[in-house]
Amino acid sequence: MDLHFTESQIAFREEVRGWLAANVPAEPLQTFDTAEGFQQHREWEATLNKGRWGMVTWPEALGGRGSDLIEWLIFEEEYYKARAPLRVNQNGIFLLGPTLMEYGTDEQKARILPKMANGEEVWAQGWSEPNAGSDMAAIRSTARLEGDRYIINGQKTWSTRAVWADWCFGMFRTDPDSERHRGLTFILVPLNSPGVTVRPIPQLDGLPGFAEIFFDNVEVAVENRLGDEGAGWSVAMATAGFERGLMLRSPARFQETARRLVELYTENRESADEDPAVKDAVLRAYLDAESYCLTTYQTACRLNKGGKIGAESSTNKIFWSELDQAMHATAMSILGARAELLPHAPAAQGVGNWLDGWLFSQSGPIYAGTNEVQRNIIAERMLGMPR
Amino acid sequence: MDFTFSEDQLLFQESVRDFLLNEVTPERIRASWETGSGRDPALWSQLAGLGLTGITVPEEYGGLGMTAVDFVLLAQECGYVALPEPLVHTALVAVPMLRDIGGDLAARWLPKIVAGEAIVAVGLAQNRLVEDAHVADLLLLQQGDSLLAATPDQVVLKYNQSIDPSRKLFTAKAASGLASVADGAHAATLVSSALNRGALGCAAQALGLAQRMIDLSVQYTSERRQFGKPIGSFQAVKHHMANVAVRLEYARAPTHRAAYAIANGQDIAAHAVSHAKLVACEAASLAAKNSHQVHGAMGYTWEVDLHIFMKKAWALANTWGDAGFHKSRVAARIFAQGAALGAGATFA
């Protein structure tokens, strides 16, 4: 055990920090849930990619740096410290990208990954359907193979970033006689295809952060199938694993929220201390964010040495989503009567972006598999309790 | 950056686990409750035979010269079986204190500890009661700004019965006129180091206790049937145990980091220990609460083994610094002006 960064890790951190200091826009970008903000974020992805910082864990041939998980964690720490823009293409670079590297053909990798990396093609997800949420195996949208094309019909929903995205990836039932997780196929669909209708769904903040997607005899070339026909479930499970795992929710984000919460508390200490529970909540939030960081580093080091990650990754999703909710709830308590105010309200001095974070934190225990589903997975697959 | 244990450390953990599971059964613990001292000299000899009593004793005194990082996994295993013998106290508290005092005292007592021929108990002001003072051949007692070394004939002990029959607690009053073995700043350093090591021992044992209570509960709820099926198949029961698994999963790394910080004399050690003790004892307390719940009325009985582990978890949460003590130490650090917090600060 050696809890010091190596010289090359320290040099890597310095390089990341230097580049971000020179390149992160001085003014925060507009939210990517607006057309203009989406475009700004797309351009930021291109900037990152040009500096080879878009996805440091990707191989050098694909514009990455072949970084291991420790360098990835270092990159994220510097990225969140620099308050760099959120990643508009996270569905692509964090979820589909790694899945493509595992299951994609060389042709698919060459065709898709470079445009994903430079923000030219932004990806949305197509998992959930109106009657297939937590029960994802209840998917009913179909894809029928005719010659060299799939004909897709049906409906997807809660598709994040779909309003302005270029492509979606998802699962479709290719065997009409199949049930549950058999007979599903993973297909990539250009959202500008004839027969695709995207209907924006306003979120709690009123902005269209996700959408419904309707497919009406949409033709998709067969080379957009990822993995074998009927093997969609196992391809999708790999993607869901990435989503819950290390890539999407690295600790830096929560540690920075915890740091800002400590700041908010100390700035408002006089009023905050009127509720004795607040100080304790701040302290616990800070420790939990630290625990999340330490545990992630321990897991990353184990994986670097060839270890595997199993059902215990379901604890990860529960831990960070409940921590995020608790931190923002505490911030709301500290802000008191100012908490409900939008940042531009005249009386909203010092509210920061806590309200935005509070809203977003409500989605954490739901998306990427509800925390109830995760608890079932933990109980059955990690602890071995009866089904 | 390598936050993993070596193959040797993991193998050692495995062999100690096998030994403890075979030897320190609930039946043997219950039998020890019926003896006068509650301690099992035969078991202590076995532990000494494996080199465990001298694991942290420097090699020059005949020990294995290992560190808190080497021992922390073994302390988890001691928790898993609720070992009543004072092995964690010996390896993490008594031996390092004797080593740091040095001189004749270390030369006289450390080899005896290695041989399993002596037990040394440490009493700090932070803990009102001294654990296992009745079987100690030497007591190191904090008295004001000094540290005294007393043999059994130089102290008056009063037994204080704990709800955990495995814990043997005593007030210890040293005879007047004993010469101190350390004073002032030197004594204060020894005391704070002992407190941190003792709290680390609690945290590591709490991890083992929490895991044991999960395992007992999974077994019980897989066998116990109601409404025609195992109660463990009901989501309400599953989620109780999943909640424990989540808290436990995120309490291990902080405990291992605390061990590392102590072994390497890092400035962050006191904070790291407080962090570890808080989250590990919280996991064990939740394990006790939820395990008790899923055991139903059986968990409220003396006959079912759960209470062996539950009561120890309750006790560890409030000794070697209670939650208030450790939260105050964390607060002093994170609410200090100019504290280095947030992303990138954890290992700085």
How much is the pTM? 0.97
Determine the Cα–Cα distance for residues A70 and B246; give it in Å rounded to an integer: 23
Give B 46-75 residues with CB within 8 A of chain A. 69
Give A 146-185 residues with CB within 8 A of chain B. none
Task: Give the DSSP letter string of A227-272.
Answer: SSTTBHHHHHHHHHHHHHSTTTT-THHHHHHHHHHHHHHHHTHHHH
- Mark yes or no for CB contact A1/B330 under 8 Å: no
> Between A311 and A85, whose confidence is greater?
A85
Q: Whose CA is closest to A289, among A250, A242, A263?
A: A250
How much is the pLDDT for A308? 81
Our CA-based measurement puts residue B290 at a distance from the nearest CA of chain A, in whole angstroms, of 13
Determine the Cα–Cα distance for residues B224 and B215; give it in Å rounded to an integer: 14
What integer is the mean pLDDT of A246-273?
A: 92
Which residues on neighbouring strands pair with residue A25, listed in sequence order?
Answer: none
Q: What's the CATH number for B186-334?
A: 1.20.140.10
Q: How far is CA A296 from the centre of its chain?
A: 16
How much is the pLDDT for B80? 98
How much is the pLDDT for A246? 62
- Are B266 and B177 spatial neighbours (Cβ–Cβ below 8 Å)? no
- Are A161 and A122 spatial neighbours (Cβ–Cβ below 8 Å)? yes
Joined together, the tokens standing for residue A95 give: 């979820």
Show me where the domains of chain B are located.
186-334
Residues of A in contact with B233 (CB under 8 A): 385-387
Task: Give the DSSP letter string of A136-151.
Answer: GGG---EEEEETTEEE
Determine the Cα–Cα distance for residues A31 and A35; give it in Å rounded to an integer: 9
- Mark yes or no for CB contact A298/B4 under 8 Å: yes
Q: What is the ipTM of this complex?
A: 0.97
- Mark yes or no for CB contact A3/B5 under 8 Å: no
A9 interfacial to chain B (CB closer than 8 Å):
yes
Q: Whose CA is closest to B255, among B297, B182, B205, B321?
A: B205
Q: Whose CA is closest to B171, among B153, B159, B183, B154?
A: B159
* Distances A92 to A49, A52, A117, A207 between C-alpha atoms, Å: 14, 16, 8, 21
pLDDT tens profile A307-359: 888 788 889 999 999 999 999 999 999 999 999 999 999 999 889 999 999 99
How much is the pLDDT for A313? 82
How much is the pLDDT for A276? 94
- Tell whether the torsion through CA atoms of A25, A26, A32 and A37 is positive or negative: negative
- Mark yes or no for CB contact B4/A379 under 8 Å: no
- Are B251 and B258 spatial neighbours (Cβ–Cβ below 8 Å)? no
Determine the Cα–Cα distance for residues B168 and A5; give it in Å rounded to an integer: 44
pLDDT tens profile B211-236: 999 999 999 999 999 999 999 999 99
Structural domains in chain A plus CATH codes: 7-88 (no CATH), 123-230 (2.40.110.10), 249-382 (1.20.140.10)
